[in-house]
Structure 1
Amino acid sequence: MAQPTPSEAPRWASTPFDDPTADLILRTSDLVDFRVFRLILRLASPVFASMLEVGQAPPGAADRSQTESDESRDGCPVVPIQEDSTTVETLLRIIYPMKDPALGDLPQLHYIIAAALKYEMEQAVALGTTALLSFVSKEPLRVWAIAARNRLEVEARTAADEVNRQQISVLDSFPPEMQDITAGAYYRLLRYRRLGGAVEEGFGFCDPPLVPPNISPPSPTPIAAAITPRVSSPDHSHLRCLTDIICRSSDGQDFPTHRILLALASPVMAGLVTSLPEQHAVSEESGLASALASTLPVLSFDEDGATLKTLIGLCHPNYSDTDSHDLLSLSRVFDAVKKYEMDAAMEPLQREWSQLVASDPLLAYILAVDRKSSLQIHKAAVRLLDRTMEDYYVPILEGSPASTFRNALLYHRACKAAASDVAHAVRTWIAGGRHEIDLVVRRKFPGCTGTGYRYACCGYSSSDVYRNLQLEVCSRCISHGESIIQICRRLESPSGALFTTLKTWESSLVSSDEIDGVSSEETDPSAVQTLYKTLFDKVTDRTNTLCSDYIEV
């Protein structure tokens, strides 16, 4: 809905919410004024009752400054609220002594239920959830999304059971309401669908599970100082008495450090430091926090405290990767290092990032999407091909969009299917058939002569296809054919390490060593290399194309 401009004058709501005898005006986000009676609001909503008693704005008021200035219209006090006029009118018609409105618009139901829950309007919540469940047989996924978004666990479970009953593919069906769902809730819906509802006691869609022992809990979000800036230092307390500058974060945290270290680490910071006025030195006997805050020059940064602390740590020559345990949780650090042209600091960051991609590619993928880094997203996504995704959970999913997680799952599934298709093409080709994929794979071992056989050797394709016809196949063709079948099985395995397989083949293309331990007496290395190159090129081309199709930046 288009938002009004500040210059627009509010318009009155329609009857009966234009009664001039009303004693309060609710002003919606789209600038519609509803004349209401305080008594009805008090009876219907404990939130409004408390607000009216103390004269405060309701939670999430659209403009608190208007309330604080005691704005009125026609002598009636005005209370701005966050909801739009359509939602507010529906809520008021529910709580007023009149016929309940028809709730037949599923998308609008979300806003009605959300507002009813926010203002603790029990009657409106009951009516809204009843209306929501009336859609469950036709739109179970949409109902689940609305219920999960509003933390309605019972309604979400009912909708999920209907999804199971109808055997709907959750991964392939993604209605618009899913865009507002967290990846954590989406992960639990996928699991519920996969298990047919046979989940553990205490399972819920709206809240994450207890953190398993082998998963580290997410790092807490730094809390900004409310009034007085905090003085801290990134593990270099023995140098505090020598500090000559304070770096202040956007959320009010102060970090005493050294100008020379900032200047050496970043030419951008060097320019900022030299532009500051000189200050008196700090005496060692004075209180550190008060002395630093009052006598040292302050260099303000746009970055928050957690990011700035890491940046200052990276400026120190003896910085180690373990100085900040949550280094990799701060995707903004990469952007800040680039912003301040800290070239030397990029090395430890890249080293840590590479380790994360290898050890936890899903976490790396989510962080890369947050940074909108195409290169890092691709590197993390292809690493997912070594994993099974069914029970792959990381706590960061709780704060990520469901669409981001779903794209990774679709990419993973499509890549596995593409690899299996290539393997099937190889099997079909060597058996004498045709396939839409162009292949350069010989149907017969290059060294085969058929010597010692009653009939000429039929080639290694016959070792699988013509075995029941008792046709002759030489030992070299049999051995070579079995090697090809093993290679195809790697590609066809849903749980196979596809990324590692591709990297192994890529290495073999530039290595003169024996390939995969296959004896050169029974197998022509050049023929295997040709096969590997064919498979590597085909699968890699498919995965790159699929990355462009499914992975959003």
Structure 2
Amino acid sequence: MASPTEYKVAGDPFNKPNADVILRSLDGTHFHVHWVVLGLTSGFFEDMEKMPQPAGGSERAIIPVQEDSATLDALLRFMYPGGDKPAIDDIMRIGDVLCAAVKYQVDDVVKYLKRQLSLFDDPLRVFIVGCLADLEDVAYQAAIEWCQENAFDLEDTYVPEMTVLPSATYFRLLHFCDALNRGGEISENYSFTRPPSVLASSAPEPTATFTVPSPFNRPSAHANIIIRSNDKVDFYVNEGILALASSKLESLLHDAPDSSPRSHDGYRVLALPEDANILLPLLQLTYPVVSPHIRDWELLTHVLLTAYKYELVRAAELAKRAWVKEIPTEPLRSYFIAVQQGWTEEAKRAARHAVLLPADEYCPEMELVPASCYDRFLRYRQKCRRNVISARRAFMDDLYLHAAVDQQEVYDTFWHAHDVSTMFHYSLHATWARAGATSPGVRPSQWTAAGPLPRALGLGGEWPAHIQQLMSCLHTWNGRHGDILELIHNYDKYGGQAMDAVDQLAFEV
């Protein structure tokens, strides 16, 4: 923080010595203002005026605010009577002032700036401003205008300023416009800025009465402190083991004074905010005991992130090793977790599996990372689809596809249940990519029917299951009656080419 001698004084009229309060901007500029002006124009400052003020005639209250000097200067000039309103020709700068006006409840300025926004022919950036200012009506109208411009393509859906929004808001925008373009129903209360409450993520709750196993369930010669969970479950632990495992826990244990609450049997208690079903596997991964086998992705994720929180190195390493194995069960959620944590290789692995998801759905982890992360994934998935389409065209021509199959190319941002059931592109994409993601397989340059069919072919996986996937694809194809072995050969050849192309895609996390 800057020292008092480093503070600047704003320009006229915010430099008058007779002002009765000082607003200190984030970048260290002092604005000398009058309570009467602030109180008349802002409900927020009207409430602050009633707070006790410093005693003494010359001393003035200094109120630090989070806005920079340019934003605060513009806001105050809008609020002060008699002066000219600032001319702002940049949407995002209007957004900064609008956010401040909403925060400080300056209703007249909010109305004026909303009218100014309506003059810009840039609905995507207006949408961003509406979301930042928590003005759903502005965001809703901007989204409508953007969709009507038929710009619903990945090449036109993202602008750099959108990185200030979470991926979840970007998802809700795409979902909104996709539903609008398909003629779907849209709720009148559709919110771009707030997650659906029914999907709010929280620590998984135990499914039955929680039982603490040995050695954490009772006093012993080795236990000298109790870890108490958020749901009031006690774990008898050894302070020395935890201190060796984590310097952060060592500090927490050291700071738990002898005078802190004690259990009924006299043990010191360290209360932690995590629930028991998270702390138990965390302690088991820390102690020299058999590691727990956790298959539930959500629980395993909470354990992993908690291990990182408390800097439990061994527990984090073991939990992460198990978590990586479960990525295919929740690939998109895993992608956002990995991005948030800065795990590059895990994020790439998750993205590779996430391209197989049959439909796009909201997940609470989208709220944790910038919109740029979701945009990068969508662009990666589009490149994967284009590679599959190219391979499909070499495998079989459009002329031989059943007339009932929708031949729209897979360039849409979203896939839907209807697309998945009818789109031949998706069937091939899912089959080829799933086989390629599970195992490398053996890709012989050529093979014939002279010998028995190999049990593993080309794209990986067991051959009976692989050929079953191929026949499932062909079920929707009114294809030519050619040699089935030729079809299988071409299917494997071009599928391999598609996956080779996908493997070579550079995906930046």
Question: Which residue does the alignment assign to 2:130?
Answer: 147
CA distance in 2, matches of 1:17, 1:221: 53
Matching of residue 182 in structure 1 with residue 182 in structure 2: no
CA distance in 1, matches of 2:499, 2:291: 41
Distance 1:351 1:340, change over 3 A: closer
Matching of residue 172 in structure 1 with residue 155 in structure 2: yes
Shift of 1:342: 4.5
Shift of 1:508: 6.3
- Residue 159 of structure 1 aligns to which amino acid in structure 2? A
For residues 363-512 of structure 1, the aligned pairs below 5 Å read 363-389=333-359, 391-427=360-396, 493=427, 496-503=430-437, 506-507=440-441, 509=443, 512=454
CA offsets 1:215-271 (integer angstroms, 9 cap, x no match): x6411599xxxxxxxxx996669723236244779x9x99743339948xx97469x
CA distance in 2, matches of 1:406, 1:118: 29
- Partner of 2:22: helix, strand, or coil? strand
Question: Which residue does the alignment assign to 1:204?
Answer: 191
Shift of 1:530: 6.4
CA distance in 2, matches of 1:159, 1:74: 49
Question: Which residue does the alignment assign to 1:291?
Answer: 266
Question: Which residue does the alignment assign to 1:535?
Answer: 494
- Residue 377 of structure 1 aligns to which amino acid in structure 2? A
Distance 1:290 1:117, change over 3 A: farther
- Partner of 1:421: helix, strand, or coil? helix
CA distance in 2, matches of 1:129, 1:419: 45
- Partner of 2:31: helix, strand, or coil? strand
Matching of residue 15 in structure 1 with residue 1 in structure 2: no
- Partner of 1:26: helix, strand, or coil? strand
Please point out which of 235, 244, 250 is paired with 2:223.
Answer: 244
CA contact (8 A) 1:10 1:33 kept: yes
- Partner of 1:54: helix, strand, or coil? coil
CA distance in 1, matches of 2:233, 2:24: 41
Question: Which residue does the alignment assign to 2:41?
Answer: 44
- Residue 219 of structure 2 aligns to which amino acid in structure 1? C
CA distance in 1, matches of 2:55, 2:384: 60
CA offsets 1:99-123 (integer angstroms, 9 cap, x no match): 3222322111121111111111111
Matching of residue 259 in structure 1 with residue 235 in structure 2: no
Q: Normalising by the residue count of structure 1, what TM-score does the alignment of the two structures yield?
A: 0.66
CA contact (8 A) 2:78 2:86 kept: yes
CA distance in 2, matches of 1:424, 1:40: 70
Matching of residue 127 in structure 1 with residue 112 in structure 2: yes
Of 109-118 and 323-332, deviating more is: 323-332
- Partner of 1:35: helix, strand, or coil? strand
CA contact (8 A) 1:183 1:397 kept: yes
CA distance in 1, matches of 2:293, 2:280: 14
- Partner of 2:500: helix, strand, or coil? helix
Question: Which residue does the alignment assign to 1:480?
Answer: none
- Residue 200 of structure 1 aligns to which amino acid in structure 2? I
CA distance in 2, matches of 1:167, 1:13: 46
Bigger CA radius of gyration: 1
CA contact (8 A) 2:147 2:177 kept: yes
Question: Which residue does the alignment assign to 1:361?
Answer: 331
CA offsets 1:26-79 (integer angstroms, 9 cap, x no match): 1111111111111111112222122221238xxxxxxxxxxxxx6999633322
Shift of 1:97: 0.8
Distance 1:260 1:196, change over 3 A: closer
Task: Give the number of aligned pairs.
Answer: 437
CA contact (8 A) 1:132 1:143 kept: yes
CA distance in 1, matches of 2:46, 2:214: 53
- Residue 292 of structure 1 aligns to which amino acid in structure 2? Y
Please point out which of 5, 29, 32 is paired with 2:29.
Answer: 32
- Partner of 1:34: helix, strand, or coil? strand
Distance 1:170 1:291, change over 3 A: farther
Q: C-alpha root-mean-square deviation of aligned residues, in Å?
A: 4.5
CA contact (8 A) 2:203 2:302 kept: no
CA contact (8 A) 1:141 1:163 kept: yes
Please point out which of 305, 321, 327 is paired with 1:332.
Answer: 305
Question: Which residue does the alignment assign to 2:100?
Answer: 115
Please point out which of 84, 87, 91 is paired with 1:102.
Answer: 87
Structure 1, unaligned runs of 5 or more: 57-69, 223-231, 432-462, 465-488
- Partner of 1:55: helix, strand, or coil? coil
CA contact (8 A) 2:331 2:354 kept: yes
CA contact (8 A) 2:336 2:368 kept: no
Of 161-170 and 200-209, deviating more is: 200-209
CA distance in 1, matches of 2:69, 2:192: 31
